[in-house]
Amino acid sequence: MSNLLLAAVSVTSLFAQGDKVRIIAFGAHPDDCDIRASGTAALWAKMGYPVKFVSVTNGDAGHQTMHGAELARRRLAEAKESARRLGIEYEVLDNPDGKLLPTLEVREEIIRQIRGWKADVVLAPRPNDYHPDHRYTAVLVQDAAYMVVVPAVTPDTPALRRNPVFLYYEDGFQRPNPFRPDVAVAIDKVIDQKINALDSHVSQFYEWLPWVDGKLQDVPKGPAERKAWLKKARTREINPAIRASLVKWYGAEHGNAARYYEAFELCEYGARPDDARIRQLFPMLGH
């Protein structure tokens, strides 16, 4: 082993809970993580970093005609297909959709998930959002931060030795404070893979969400046409704050060339990484 390789190995083991940086992402519903982080997840997965998406509810209320166990089964299958297309794991917890509360019981489920995955990075929504399940997922994950290292809490699952780094997904809500893109990941190389993952969630992107918006008639019929339609609907222009973050992490040339991105804001309740550690946790930055 060369000295350089030895140095790389020791730095990784210094920072990770195990041999390799491990990532877990939480969403309220079985498509939320996919919308906010599946491009970054695909990049991590390609580099050999284990990624797990967890839906805190089973999604059994998210459709205009189908609901209950039948819908929950369908959405679980869609989530598993998305995971297959991304090269990651996906677990759907059996809490009812539209009824999530930040109880101690669900907090313990989240603690077990983070510990069981030996996570170094935890992704979750911000706590101010239009949907109560999104808000409470955010609160539940915040409530698990730090508690994951306390052995007397949820003693059936061994505690982590280090508090992971917690980050929030991007959203457009302005109050009480707008999203701050501390980390912006260029996902141009995997944008089609991301859209392909979203395309797994047929019940959502081609049925339920267009129906809620009164746009069901706009959904194209052909598989290629609807994927192109989905890509257009789910990508947007890069605003100046995101562009500045891309330039910070990738340099002017690559940062200005990026067209597709995902961005994350550091949560104050997890470990506080410096820029060097962020580069270690997000090894795709700069590439």
Largest pairwise CA distance in the chain: 61
Binding mask 31-70 for Zn ion (x = CB under 5 A): -x--------------------------------------
Calpha distance 274→270 (Å, rounded): 13
Alpha helices, H only, the chain: 3-15, 32-46, 69-86, 104-116, 132-144, 191-198, 202-203, 209-212, 223-233, 240-257, 275-281
Q: Which stretch binds Zn ion (CB under 5 A): 26-34, 101-109, 144-152, 252-260?
A: 26-34
Q: Which stretch binds Zn ion (CB under 5 A): 22-30, 152-160, 175-183, 202-210?
A: 22-30
Token pair, residue 208, equals 């339920």
Find where tokens 């967890």 sit: 54
CB of 249 vs Zn ion, minimal distance in Å: 28
CB of 131 vs Zn ion, minimal distance in Å: 6
CB of 89 vs Zn ion, minimal distance in Å: 19
Binding residue count for Zn ion, defined by CB under 5 A:
3
Residue 28 lies near Zn ion (rule: CB under 5 A) = yes
Beta sheet of 261-266, edge-to-edge order: 89-95, 51-57, 23-27, 121-124, 165-169, 261-266, 183-186
CB of 219 vs Zn ion, minimal distance in Å: 19
CB of 142 vs Zn ion, minimal distance in Å: 17
SS3 71: helix
Closest to Zn ion by CB, 208 vs 264, is 208
Residue 97 lies near Zn ion (rule: CB under 5 A) = no
Q: Which stretch binds Zn ion (CB under 5 A): 25-33, 177-185, 232-240, 278-286?
A: 25-33
Residue 29 lies near Zn ion (rule: CB under 5 A) = yes
Tell me whether strands 165-169 and 261-266 are parallel, antiparallel or unpaired.
antiparallel
- Could you tell me how many residues make up the chain? 287
| Residues making contact with Zn ion (CB under 5 A) | 28-29, 32
